[in-house]
A = this chain, B = another copy of it.
């Protein structure tokens, strides 16, 4: 596959890639870089990388694949630091959840030494940081690659194989389609989860304590995704703001109708909404995207 791979940013995603590559031994040399010293110390201590680079330039110099797994807001400064040191003929990729902004950055910076093949592993948990990573994170999950039309199939194939070697399934999709789909499957749900937690928290201390105590009935599902990494989500919401706002507007329009149905005691309309949702859940389970165990099988 690749002789040398560099992982830039070693949080949940980056450290999971490191763990997986170490386990699979599919790459000859793994180089890592994180701007945070304590993260680098942890990588060294756990022997997750063959070389913890001292700076970004050194991190990429001889690498055939450079994977950027930093928050979106660090992307531009990372590119500035590495662009003149990228190996000629190498591939540059990432793990960001929005493609619009970073594609623009890549175009503006006129990267010539490397082929840009943006990627997004649709995987993660509510936890963040290098401690939260694990080698199986990408197993049976999808990674979406969104290369421009002019990119050679042979180059795309290399990145596909890289993710497949970590157990991921790979889908090639236009970056606009990616941003649209993910705005609905991930970004809107996160807005809503944050918003519901904010709404139920706005109360006196006594009620808040009762809410925490009796949260099992639905609320706790939302608090899980609302516990995700704040910096990452701030960046995503700002970068994909147009599509997210469109999704919020559609959501609000539907919520108004829903409210009207509740107010009018419109039993038929309510049942119709509920029956359709049940079907949708079944499709998701059938597609292998969730467990069919009641309550996610949690104890």
Interface residue ranges, A against B (CB under 8 Å) = 97, 122-127, 132, 141-142, 144, 171, 173, 177, 180-182, 184-203, 207, 210-228, 230-231, 233-234, 237-238, 241, 244-245, 247-252, 254-256, 258-259, 262-263, 265, 267, 270-271, 273-278, 280-284, 287, 289-291, 293-299
Contacts and interface: CB of A to CB of B under 8 A. Distances in A.
B177 A210 contact: yes
Given A189-B196, A250-B202, A252-B252, A215 B284 contact: yes
Nearest to A237: B262
Contacts of A287: 212-213, 215
A192 B194 contact: no
Nearest to A225: B218
Contacts of A198: 254, 258, 273, 276-277
One complex includes copies of this chain to the number of 2
A237 B200 CA distance: 18
Given A142-B213, A230-B274, A245-B263, 5 more contacts: A123-B216, A189-B221, A191-B255, A199-B250, A227-B282
B281 A224 contact: yes
Contact of A184 (B211, B265, B277): B211
A221 B262 CA distance: 24
